[in-house]
Amino acid sequence: MTQIELMQVALDLSKDFKFTAKPNPVVGALVVRNGEIVAQGAHESWGKNHAEINCLNNLDKSLPKDELTLYVTLEPCNHFGKTPPCTDAIIQSGIKKVVIGALDPNPKVSGQGIQKLIDANIDVEHGVLASEVADANKFFFFRHINKRPFITIKIASSSDGMSHAKDGSIKWITSAAAREDVQHLRAEHDAIITGGNTVRNDNPQMNARVDYPINQPKKILLSSESNWDKDLKFFDAPVSIIDSRNLQDVLHSLIDEDICSALVEAGPSLVNAFLEDGLCEELVVYQSPNPIGTKGISWFDDGNTIEKFGFKHTSSYTIDRDKKTTFVRC
């Protein structure tokens, strides 16, 4: 197998753990001898062994070390986090060649893992499928480069652009199938952010109800109220209540909470505040074919369209009777 094919195997292996590794990156590793894979491993679960360690643990220690090459999709760490540095384990393994996909996106640590290996006389190559590795870890890369989480906003809209009925008479705008799709969107993110009125009016649970293992997104409530009724469904898991109207500050504060991505699910006030502050990378709209009419509250002020906020349409398809459209920042 070629170098690119081998890195692709490691990358595919890593992606199996997308929902349980988060907010950590997905990482895969292989040990190769004469072009054949002799051991493999992935970072399976947040807080557990990194991919390199799982791979080295699966390696037959009797194989001649000078014939082995370690492939790893992301630069090995060189610091103590929840686990010891992977660079130390690689050096101790006796392997003398390492091929890396992408460098660590954190500018403070990028290149340090490689340097440690080079200093230990290990032959290091990097940049093999680097952009594919970055794509597979787009939230993790975004957070380290931008010092805040990647923000996706999800809205359900009536055919006439309404968010909800003033009198609260409409419970669901979209079909059960569209709401089921939202569960997967939640599962992908590290946090769900909502606003005080949505929790007050709708009593939503806002967890990810999916039938595969995931790390549940953390719940974040932006509200000035401190006296919340903890019997509301939203409080069935720990909730961070943040009392600040400065969304930029709010998002910066999340960097210390291991949150690389957040899904905003709120009403028009908070959604428009995120959009007006330019704090949204992706917008997902589920649109029903049915209007709400004059009893509705509109998502956007007259003339404010998604395009005006600087987004372009990337994909749309139907889910049951609704249309799902994804927009990304231009």
In this structure, how many other beta carbons lie within 10 angstroms of the beta carbon of residue 2? 9
- Beta carbon nearer to ligand NAP, 51 or 247: 247
196 binds ligand NAP (CB under 6 A): yes
Q: Active site includes 52? A: yes
The stretch among 88-96, 113-121, 131-139, 196-204 that binds ligand NAP (CB under 6 A) is 196-204
CA 157/CA 174 separation, integer angstroms: 8
Verify binding: residue 322, ligand NAP, rule CB under 6 A: no
Q: Does 160 bind ligand NAP (CB under 6 A)?
A: no
**Which of 35, 65, 72 lies closest to 51, judged by CA?**
72
Coil, strand or helix at 218: strand
Cβ atoms of 172 and 137 within 8 Å: the answer is no
d(CA 44, CA 53): 11
Task: Report, in Å, the least distance between residue 225 CB and ligand NAP.
Answer: 4
Task: Find the binding residues for ligand NAP in span 269-288 (CB under 6 A).
Answer: 269-270, 273
Q: Does 296 interact with ligand NAP (rule: CB under 6 A)? A: no
Piece in contact with ligand NAP (CB under 6 A), picked from 77-85, 98-106, 218-226, 312-320: 218-226
155 binds ligand NAP (CB under 6 A): yes
Which is catalytic among the residues 5, 36, 44, 52?
52
* Choice between 78 and 198, CB closer to ligand NAP: 198
Q: What are phi and psi of 3, to 5 degrees?
A: -55, -45
**Dist. CA 27–CA 75, nearest whole Å:** 9
Q: Which of 267, 144, 139, 152 is nearest to 199 (CA)?
A: 267
DSSP 8-class letter at 281: S
Residues that bind ligand NAP (CB under 6 A): 155-156, 163-164, 173, 195-198, 201-202, 222-225, 245, 247, 265-270, 273
